[in-house]
Amino acid sequence: MASNRRYASAGLDVGTSGCRAAVVDHQGGVLSRARAEWPDGVMPADPETWWVVARSALARAVAETRRPVGRVAVDGTSGTVVWTATDGTPLTRAMRYNEPAAGTWAAVVAHQAPATSGAHGSSSGLARALHLAALYGLRGPCQLLTQTDWIAGRLCGRFDCTDENNALKLGYDPVSRCWPDWLQRVPLPDDCLPAAFEPGTAIGTIRAEVARATYLRDDCQIVAGTTDSIAGFLATGARVGGEAVTSLGTTLALKQVSRQPVFAPEHGVYSHRLGDQFLAGGASNCGAGILTRYFSQAELEALSARLDPDHDTGLDYYPLPAVGERFPYADPQLQPRLEPRPEDPVRFLQGLMEGVAAVEAEGYRRLQELGAPALERVITVGGGAANPAWTRIRSRYLGVPVSAAEEAEAAVGAARLAGGLIDT
């Protein structure tokens, strides 16, 4: 998709702590950013509150830019769903990304869905949708929407579409690019599934009253968006096979571009579609969160300067914060391995960092065993990206260059997607 050089493009990220908006020029350079927090700092279950906060962030970013904005894309938290009337009026509260569905509904999905489906588990959008439909006694006509879909609908007035990335956890087949037949055997209301579009596809024109409230052009196009994690991936600039992005936050999430889809639910691996390619990945329960359990931020900064990142401690930790792992081993009974603990805090800290690096390296090896291309470069986002000693340790374990992302904000990734600046 070619970018329109006459206009800027905007991205709206509906995230876990609030909404962020960004505007970029025709080359992807950031012109403005704005943010608005959720009331009480927690994502509400009320979609109308989403809209108030999202609209505020978008309006502030566009007003600050003082440039005409021609396209907008939205990203939202993966698996967050709401049931609406066909005109978008919410019929239920939302069930959010961090609210597991009752196990009964995850079992219903598991009975029908193939092993490769992204709809498995109590955190899937489909399991949450079934939970809500039963809780509210829905029969139809009604529409199943993700958070991204509903916000995009408020922008353009269209509530019958989604994007291929958000659709994955609703049961969408990203390989065949369709809603599979097995969904007909799941107790969903008739005709409730939205049409799924490739991210970046124009789906409608901004509603007049929204254009006035957000300072957008009255012919501004709303395009199909994506999930928050994929928008963050797009912001980093990773595009080709062999390039990967590690999110080194409280937990560890890996994503790698692949020409072919990679699915292995027994290892916690699945793939999103990314244009003509796929984005394969998984998420471990290990991550930087284990460091803050034992060290304050001031201690981390002081001790990191004393690490010896070129030589191993030999401590061989598997630094889980609790029992259970998702990836590269899907084992709910896997035990943390954090012994022996040396008296020297520098050595202990380095051992923890090496343990996370080993899990990361094993994760990428797992992806390659399953069909992803050989790893060539890793870009890092999240708090751990700012630690140069840890970066050297990880590069040694991975055997490839590792660098911090110059840009990782999901709103910027969504804005570049809107502007046709993402070559997939």
Q: What is the pLDDT of residues 116-172, one digit of tens each?
A: 899 998 889 999 999 999 999 998 899 999 999 999 999 999 999 999 999 999 999
pLDDT at residue 2 is higher than 80:
no
**Residue 289 is encoded by which pair of tokens?**
């969160």
| Residues forming a β-bridge with 270 | 281
The confidence score (pLDDT) of residue 422 equals: 75
Mean pLDDT in residue range 198-218: 97
The confidence score (pLDDT) of residue 241 equals: 82
The confidence score (pLDDT) of residue 423 equals: 64
The confidence score (pLDDT) of residue 5 equals: 64
Pick the CATH number of 8-230+410-418 from 3.30.420.40, 2.60.120.460, 3.30.470.30, 3.30.70.60: 3.30.420.40
337 DSSP 8-state letter: B
Q: What is the pLDDT of residues 28-78, one digit of tens each?
A: 999 999 999 999 899 999 999 999 999 999 999 999 998 999 999 999 999
Determine the 3-state secondary structure of 21 from DSSP: strand
What average pLDDT does the chain have? 94
In which band, very low, low, confident or very high, does the pLDDT at 6 lie, cut at 50, 70 and 90?
confident
For 222-290, the DSSP string reads: EEEEEEHHHHHHHHHT--STTEEEEEESSSEEEEEEESS---BGGGTBEEEEETTEEEEEEEES-STHH
Query: Where in the sequence of the chain do the CATH 3.30.420.40 domains occur?
Result: 8-230+410-418, 238-404
Strand order in the sheet with 8-14: 30-37, 18-24, 8-14, 69-76, 221-227, 202-205
Q: What is the pTM of this model?
A: 0.90
Q: What are phi and psi of 298, to 5 degrees?
A: -65, -40
pLDDT at residue 3 is higher than 70:
no
Share of the chain above pLDDT 70, in %: 98
Crossing angle for the helix pair 147-156 and 47-65, to the nearest 10 degrees: 60
pLDDT at residue 419 is higher than 70:
yes
Tell me yes or no: is domain 238-404 CATH 3.30.1490.270: no
Q: What is the pLDDT of residues 86-104, one digit of tens each?
A: 999 999 999 999 899 999 9
